[in-house]
Amino acid sequence: MLEDDRTIARRPRPPRGSVPHRTPPSSPLRWILLGLAAIAAGVVLTLWWLSRAQLAPATPAPTTATQVPFGAPRPRPQDIDLPPLDDSDTLLRDLVSSLSKHPLLAWILVNKSLVRSTVLAVVQIGDGVTPTGLFGPLKPQTRLQLQSGDSSRVDPATYRRWDQALAALTSINTAELAQTYVNTKPLFDQAYRELGHPNGNFDDAIVRAIRTVEATPDIKTDPVLLRRSGYFEYDDESLRALLPVQKQLLLLGPTHRQRVISWLRSLAAGLDLKID
């Protein structure tokens, strides 16, 4: 089932330990993309902050994604003093302009409990659940459209609704993101433990989320949807059986979907995480 372009299945309740937000309902597909961008926001901003204290001037972060060479070693964490988890929002908001030139990324820092909310999103994606309730009104201005009638293929022109969200995500330099993630990892590990994961290694959640995304079928044609009263659902039974987050990713379109996967693989390579 697909409630317009917002969900393909009944929305699950967030797991215990979720962080409430006073934001309007957001598009799950947007949430998926920007949930990944939230991780980038936290770690890249912190590295920029640290670089200001060094004697040499900081090099501006590139505005286009940088691919990490396959087999690149994981960066070593620098010995730094991080703020307490409860006080980490202020630093991120103050340094948002250093993250990327893309304006959409600024919206991910308007919420509270940014690290906790990001960790929750990644855990939910790994579980195959469509995350809910983090980001503000970034929903595309146009709705999902079919080519014709009540039972037809998705109009490929509507995939362009996600052009800006994809540009925002892939504008983040994955090489620098890998370095800054290992520097700020204690904050993410702490939030991960709070969700009931005693080992506290947030790497595990990242790997699981990427594997879930990559397991989305690489369909060769635009999917056929059935228009129901107030929602759409896939005509193909095998697609209806997918995890909710995978169903949503199919609506991103094949080109955007591959760009997301390539960006995630580059990040995983930079962190020396085993995805396959």
Within the chain, which residues score under 70 in pLDDT?
1-72, 91-99, 132-139
Is 164 a domain residue?
yes
**Token code pair at residue 74:** 């994981």
Q: What is the chain's length?
A: 276
CA distance 3 to 107: 25
pLDDT at 72: 64
Residue pair 140/27 in contact (Cβ under 8 Å)? The answer is: yes
pLDDT at 175: 84
In DSSP terms, which residues pair with 3 in a beta bridge? 7
Is 152 a domain residue?
yes
Three-state DSSP class for 153?
strand
Is 64 a domain residue?
yes
Number of domains making up the chain: 1
Which residue spans within 136-269 are E strands per DSSP?
151-153, 224-227, 232-234
Is 23 a domain residue?
no
Is 158 a domain residue?
yes
Residue pair 65/172 in contact (Cβ under 8 Å)? The answer is: yes
Helix (H) or strand (E) holding 240: helix 237-240
Is 1 a domain residue?
no
Residue pair 94/52 in contact (Cβ under 8 Å)? The answer is: no
Query: What is the domain extent for residue 129?
Result: 28-270
The model's pTM is 0.75
Distances in Å between the alpha carbon of 190 and those of 46, 116, 149?
17, 9, 50
pLDDT at 253: 93
Is 134 a domain residue?
yes
Is 2 a domain residue?
no
